[in-house]
Amino acid sequence: MTATFARFDLMVWFPRRQTLLTLAFIAVAGVLLPVPGLAIVAAALVASLQMSAPFLADEHGRMDTLYGVLPISRGAVVAGRALSLLAYYAAAAVLATAVTITMASVRGDQITVELVLIAHACAAGVVGIAMSLQLPILFRVGYSRGRLMVVYAPTIVMFGAAWLLQATGLHTPLLNALSDVPAALVIGAGLAVAVLGVLVAVGVSTRFYRTREL
């Protein structure tokens, strides 16, 4: 049922013009900005901001009411929604990789497989964190009541952490320490954060959604 709902969910919101325009933005960012790997970072940011789109579609189409009467568990709805969002991110990541490699070839830039993998691992970690922060709120209160929190929560956490590091002067020793960390460890850590974020998002969201009146 989870995979079936994920396919249905993608059919509802993925083909929309607004969704396709976000993918176009990733390509444009990779083409216009001459920073290797920036398109991969843009894919993570766009995927994080796009997580509320299916919930907006739910409210416009009164889909929550339909989910309440269909023979499908709340847990399957949550897991299916998470899968559909990950499918969108996967499409964005593939597009970003293609743009990154193509533009590096056109500009004559050297980009290594290791750099691409590190960028993807870090981007996946960002998406995992965004899911853990946004999905529980959206499943608990819906799009209309939760949109401000889900838009600002990831931004506040990420930029707040960056500001704190800058204000305390810890960013320099942290960057120096990270430069000595093996690439495999960075990649593993990024993927671990991504997996943990998804698991937290699904677990907490399922608990909240089961107690929500539709």
pLDDT recorded at residue 72: 83
Return per-residue pLDDT of the chain as tens, 214 residues.
788 888 888 888 888 888 888 888 888 888 887 677 788 888 998 898 889 889 888 888 777 777 777 788 888 999 999 999 999 999 999 999 999 888 888 877 777 888 889 889 999 999 999 999 899 999 988 877 777 777 666 667 666 776 676 677 765 676 666 667 788 888 999 999 999 999 999 999 999 988 877 6
Contacts of residue 14, Cβ cutoff 8 Å, sequence gap at least 6: 84, 87, 88
Task: Tell which residue, 200, 178, 199, has the closest CA to residue 189.
Answer: 178
Contacts of residue 18, Cβ cutoff 8 Å, sequence gap at least 6: 53
Burial class (CB in 10 A: 0-12, 13-18, 19+), 22: buried
The number of helices, as runs of H, and strands, as runs of E, in the chain is 9, 0
pLDDT recorded at residue 104: 84
pLDDT recorded at residue 114: 85
pLDDT recorded at residue 69: 76
pLDDT recorded at residue 38: 81
